[in-house]
Amino acid sequence: MEEVKYNNGIVNEMLDDKVFKLLPSVLKNLTNNFEGRERDIVLVSSLSVLSACLPNVYGVYDSDKVYSNLYSMIIAPAASGKGVMNKSRILIEKIHDRLLELSIQEQKECREEKKKAKERDFENCPSPEIKILPANISTAEMYSYLSKSKNGLVIIESEADTMSIMLNNDWSNYSDVLRKAFHHEPLSISRKLENIFVDIKEPKLSILLSGTPQQLKSLIKSKENGLFSRFIVYSFDEISGFKSDLFLKKTNDINTIFQNEASVIFDFYGKLKELDCEIEFLFTESQNKAFTKEFEILHETIINGHSHSFLSNLRRHGLICYRIAMILSALRNLDKTIEGKKLLCENVDFILAIRITKTLLKHSLVTFNSFDDSFLSENDEQFLFSLPSTFTRAEAIQKGETLGIPTRTVDDKLSQWKKKKIIIPVKHGEYRRDRKMV
């Protein structure tokens, strides 16, 4: 990894111009009307949204079946131009609206049939299906929507605080859901009082967030946070200037361009969704070797020059790189018949994925280094959140015993957490987590 450039502690490197010249036509059309930071943001946000638009396309990475879903966050000060991220929402709105329209119609028909039959068990009628999932929902609602969505969902929020607020509540702390869904790990929830049992074999979720550095610290509380390592991070600290052409009508209206490409994606999504079998994405043998070599070099660079705690980020960026290559290859084959239900990665898309990922990895590294030492380690975070939001010392010791943590170590942790105000004493021997903690 080359030397990282700094500007007040935030990485200022942008994606190479060569990347944009080689993009598939959909992404090239979207980014052509932007420059500088805005062009980078449009690419990162579009990749994130489109990662939820490839039903029936999968690959095998490290012996696990994976899909194209990405988690991304754009981190920059207010008035920096990061709001252009919201344009990417247009790319998936047509799919979302169509799914919602069809499911509401099915629900209406089901209810009418039951009324005719004088039945009242409307709960068995299909509930609305969506593609864009709001972040301000309960954990139970998230399970419900994920279980109904065979082809995945996407969360798009321009204010990271929206998700932070949810993760601060016991009833909506779905942080573990986000972690598991990134790897498509099975999810299940059972609640006796509500008579609910939901079991999801392969959850598929994409996330696109933007926010300020302070909002990031409200969302990610640990320097070694397992959630942070799952995200693509694009960060910068420049403030954008006032646009002199703010009221001028451009030849190519930006919204129209996004809507045109959204129609292309809508048709492609429908085509993939109707396939009777899945399409497997594959690296060639030479690409496999080159991929391994690239990440071995990055691994050695981090071992020798950076915190070993960052290695989990590097490993997950390997998967992120693979997913980016999958998205690029699928988009480049919009109008082609994929022979034998295999999608071979083209060399240009392999090179692009490597270049994009290496730049984003630098952004992630500098953001990682911006966290101070007061944050929890991932092991401490898992221990703390295995306890109720308000707990006693006895409960902490009992939980520690089940995890193999000695009583003395538990007491040391409680003492450190009090000093750092991670936990607040309620009364003697009883504590609660700081409400700002995720």
pLDDT in tens, 287-312: 999 999 999 999 999 988 888 888 99
Q: Is 87 exposed, middle or buried (0-12, 13-18, 19+ CB in 10 A)?
A: buried
Strand 430-433 relative to strand 423-427: parallel, antiparallel, unpaired? antiparallel
Contacts for 290 with CB less than 8 Å, ≥ 6 apart? 350, 354
Q: Cα separation of 344 and 281, whole Å?
A: 6
Q: Cα separation of 237 and 11, whole Å?
A: 8
Q: 313 and 229 in contact (C-beta within 8 Å)?
A: yes
pLDDT attached to residue 327: 98
User: In 159-315, at which residue ranges do the beta strands (DSSP E only) sit?
Assistant: 187-191, 196-200, 205-211, 231-235, 279-282
Pure H helices in 249-343: 254-273, 285-305, 311-332
Q: 221 and 438 in contact (C-beta within 8 Å)?
A: yes
Backbone angles phi, psi at 342, to 5 degrees: -120, 140
User: In 334-433, at which residue ranges do the beta strands (DSSP E only) sit?
Assistant: 342-344, 390-392, 423-427, 430-433
Segments of the chain scoring below 70 in pLDDT: 1-12, 120, 122-123, 191-195, 221-225, 239-252, 337-340, 372-378, 435-438
Reduce the DSSP state of residue 75 to 3 states and report it. Answer: strand
pLDDT attached to residue 45: 98
Per-residue pLDDT of 43-102, as tens digits, reads 999 999 999 999 999 999 999 999 999 999 999 888 777 889 999 999 999 999 999 999
Q: Cα separation of 89 and 91, whole Å?
A: 5
pLDDT attached to residue 4: 45
pTM given for the model: 0.83
Contacts for 335 with CB less than 8 Å, ≥ 6 apart? none
CB atoms within 10 A of CB 279: 21
Q: How far is CA 15 from CA 36, 187, 299, 320, 351, in A?
A: 9, 36, 21, 16, 13
Proportion of the chain in helix, strand, coil states, percent, rounded to 5: 50, 15, 35
pLDDT attached to residue 205: 98
Q: Provide the angle, in degrees to the nearest 10, between the axes of the packed helices 139-148 and 175-182.
A: 30
Contacts for 302 with CB less than 8 Å, ≥ 6 apart? 1, 308, 310, 311, 314
Length of the chain, in residues: 438
pLDDT attached to residue 420: 76
Reduce the DSSP state of residue 78 to 3 states and report it. Answer: coil
pLDDT attached to residue 7: 42
> In the predicted model, what is the mean pLDDT of the chain?
87
pLDDT attached to residue 112: 86
pLDDT attached to residue 389: 83
